[in-house]
Amino acid sequence: MPQYNNYPIYGIGFRGPGKLWSCKGLIFDPDDKVTQIKSLAHTELTFSSKKKAEEHALKLCKTWIDEQRQGFESTSLTKGDTAAI
């Protein structure tokens, strides 16, 4: 299973309507690597292949992880700035 910033991530491609594929991304706890902490589905988008759906699901996971880290970092900066005032 691939990892991104220490989080195990998994991209799933599954058959949608017709011959198109939809995707779902799974993010697991970095400490125990078994507990799922986030599931990201993007059923509105469809892809021509399972591989493309899986790749997009991994991108969804990476984006979510980056957003969480940015939120944590900006919270840390805010607390530090407030304490200095």
What domain count does the chain have? 1
Find where tokens 């469809």 sit: 46
- What is the pTM (predicted TM-score) of this model? 0.81
Parent domain of 61: 3-84
* Confidence at residue 84, expressed as pLDDT on a 0 to 100 scale: 42
CA distances from 21 to 15, 59, 61 (A): 5, 16, 18
Each residue's pLDDT, cut to its tens digit, for the chain (85 residues) gives 899 999 999 999 999 778 899 999 999 999 999 999 999 997 788 999 999 999 999 999 999 999 998 877 666 554 444 444 3
